[in-house]
Amino acid sequence: MNEKERERLLQIHTTHLGEQPYASGHYHHYEPTPYATLDVLFEQYDIRNRKRLVDYGCGKGRILFYVHHYFHLPVVGVEFDDQLYREALLNETTYLQKKHKWTASITIEHQLAEQYDIQREDDVFFLFNPFSLQIFMTVIQKIMKSVEAYPRTVDIILYYPTDEFHYYLTYDTPFTRIQEVKVIGDSLDNQNRFLIYRYAHHS
């Protein structure tokens, strides 16, 4: 199934980039993760028994609707850009017109990533290089505080991981890298992969 066919299946529009929203040194421009790449990730990473996924910099919501559709998992998208947030809400409306029988929730928050109030059920966090290392560090610190307050196992999934993000998680946090998922057929691009990190804290 190609990109257009998958969009029709989900009744959403996330492929076209259109005008790039505001990007700065801290927040990066929108780019959707290819569906075929998500297929590779979730063939190797088991998300079925997790409680809720949070996508930081969710853009138009592709990850949210993909995970909700295939795994019936509650999802949260965090997006600060006005245009992308509105488009994500429109996609939610059209997606739910055919998915109303499912009870898993979809939440889309219009705010900065570092402002998102992490909930105790949030246990998988997806990031496709949405912001700078400074913002990333703030977000990770909030995740760790949440885990300490509500002990649980949480995973962070990085797509196109930067060395900075990897080094920070590896050497400055209790997160451990548990998995690497390489995107098949793109051997020339070493960064086209997922790195998955886990922090398990139990009382």
Task: Provide mean pLDDT across the span 63-86.
Answer: 95
**CA angle, corner 141, sides to 119 and 195, nearest 5?**
90
Which residues fall within 8 angstroms of residue 145, CB to CB, at 6 or more apart? none
Which residues fall within 8 angstroms of residue 117, CB to CB, at 6 or more apart? none
Which pLDDT value is given to residue 8?
94
Sequence-distant contacts of 143-146: CB under 8 A, at least 24 apart:
143/118, 143/199, 144/173, 144/174, 144/199, 146/118, 146/119, 146/120, 146/122
Determine the Cα–Cα distance for residues 171 and 138; give it in Å rounded to an integer: 16
Determine the Cα–Cα distance for residues 119 and 129; give it in Å rounded to an integer: 22
Determine the Cα–Cα distance for residues 103 and 87; give it in Å rounded to an integer: 22
Which residues fall within 8 angstroms of residue 101, CB to CB, at 6 or more apart? none
pLDDT at 87 over 70: yes
- Res. 129 pLDDT band, cuts 50 70 90: confident
Determine the Cα–Cα distance for residues 97 and 87; give it in Å rounded to an integer: 16
Which pLDDT value is given to residue 195?
96
Which pLDDT value is given to residue 26?
47
Which pLDDT value is given to residue 178?
97
Q: Which residue has the higher pLDDT, 129 or 144?
A: 144
Q: pTM of the predicted model, to two decimals?
A: 0.91
Q: Which residue has the higher pLDDT, 13 or 201?
A: 13
Reported as a single tens digit per residue, the pLDDT across 5-36 is: 999 999 999 986 544 544 445 455 677 899 99
Measured CA distances, 1 to 4, 6, 35, 79 (Å):
8, 6, 9, 28
Reported as a single tens digit per residue, the pLDDT across 90-123 is: 999 999 987 666 779 999 999 999 999 999 999 9
Q: Which residue has the higher pLDDT, 15 or 136?
A: 136
